[in-house]
Structure 1
């Protein structure tokens, strides 16, 4: 069973889980639409594991991953959100917990999954932070121990979501992509260049990843009084 998280104080700006804090907002409805579209995307089977990533940094992939995890948990799924960004982790900031232990501890064989997963403030949603930043992230994510982690997590949870580094920055997402059911790519309106988005998709496809689709972040909704905006 996942442990209760310890409370920690951080100087980082507070990241709002809008799908949990304001579930009736238009933005929360957009996250539920993403959930519905992902469910339709897996016509041949249940979506059990997926990566949420971006082409480049600061495009909103981490906060998208957190809110997608929330809306799946709200649907009644038992969800584990894993910070697989072993270079610039953020999940512990979003959920205001510690990062002294996490995925990297499991991958070096020092602690079991059940001890590293923490209950979040959202019912049915557990989180696992990155743990200490290792010197060899790509090697750890591509190891047999990582495959063991995925298989073990699938037995304990209905859905496992991995927040991974940007595709064009490092190879980590590509290393992990062909071990999960699908990949969701986040791009930011007026920031992500079309060429970068296409190149990120091509690199994922080259690794035989199942690209489920893309999320356009920061897009103004015309003919309305609100903006579809939610920054990382």
Structure 2
């Protein structure tokens, strides 16, 4: 969690520089841990007293609702279709300061929904009501959804899983984001092996304060 809090500090600076508090998180490949990063980042942002909205924008297989012990319906899909209001779909105060909107039922046309005027209106509304809006999106190499959501974000983060992807695959994913007009402002290295001695692990140094005995 201290690593996530360190990411929070950098993200807050990036949002200030971008002049936007809408953040999109994507993975460079399936299994990178995008949802894990988005969930924990939303949690620590809410710890600072900000009103945070976490949106599961993975309309192809979102599962974040399970973390809140909530049913699958309704969610972002139903809000964009107009079959549910935001108030009906929103899980308010999922944690102090944190609200959550699940993906809802998986639609047959997720890319079209995320490219629609309804999604534009949705983002404008939640951006006006929350201090931070955090979108969890699918892997950029699999589908175009991350780029569609990224158009609305001032800050975009790409999650890479340590020792699970080649440099070529990561470079291709970052290039695809850039070619789509939504370059990543930062890369999150997830799943780095933990060091108990402070020695470098995969090029990352890690230190800890001794716990009180």
Residue 75 of structure 2: aligned partner: 102
Q: Is 2:60 the counterpart of 1:83?
A: no
State the 1:105 CA deviation: 0.4
Residue 189 of structure 1: aligned partner: 162
State the 1:174 CA deviation: 1.2
Name structure 1 gaps, 5 residues minimum: 1-27
Residue 24 of structure 1: aligned partner: none
Contact 2:110 2:145 in 1 (8 A): yes
Query: Which region of structure 1 is more displaced relative to structure 2, 130-139 or 178-187?
Result: 178-187
Query: C-alpha deviations, 1:146-177, integer Å up to 9, x for none?
Result: 01000010121111111110000111111221
Moved over 6 A (4+): none
Match for residue 65 of structure 2 among 88, 92, 99: 92
State the 1:221 CA deviation: 4.4
Match for residue 36 of structure 1 among 1, 5, 9: 9
State the 1:44 CA deviation: 3.0
Aligned residues: 200
Q: Is 2:122 the counterpart of 1:149?
A: yes
Query: Which region of structure 1 is more displaced relative to structure 2, 212-221 or 153-162?
Result: 212-221
Q: Is 2:94 the counterpart of 1:124?
A: no
Contact 2:20 2:153 in 1 (8 A): no
C-alpha distance in 2 between matches for 1:35 and 1:47: 15
C-alpha distance in 2 between matches for 1:121 and 1:88: 21
SS in 2 for 1:34: helix
Query: C-alpha deviations, 1:165-197, integer Å up to 9, x for none?
Result: 000011111122112112111000010221111
What is the TM-score with the length of structure 1 in the denominator? 0.81
Query: Which region of structure 1 is more displaced relative to structure 2, 90-99 or 68-77?
Result: 90-99
State the 1:100 CA deviation: 1.4
Q: RMSD of aligned C-alpha atoms?
A: 1.8
Residue 209 of structure 2: aligned partner: none
Over 3 Å counting, the alpha-carbon distance change for 1:224 and 1:164 in structure 2 is same
Residue 180 of structure 2: aligned partner: 207
Contact 1:182 1:210 in 2 (8 A): no
What is the TM-score with the length of structure 2 in the denominator? 0.88
State the 1:42 CA deviation: 3.5
C-alpha distance in 2 between matches for 1:86 and 1:146: 13
C-alpha distance in 2 between matches for 1:43 and 1:97: 33
State the 1:208 CA deviation: 1.7
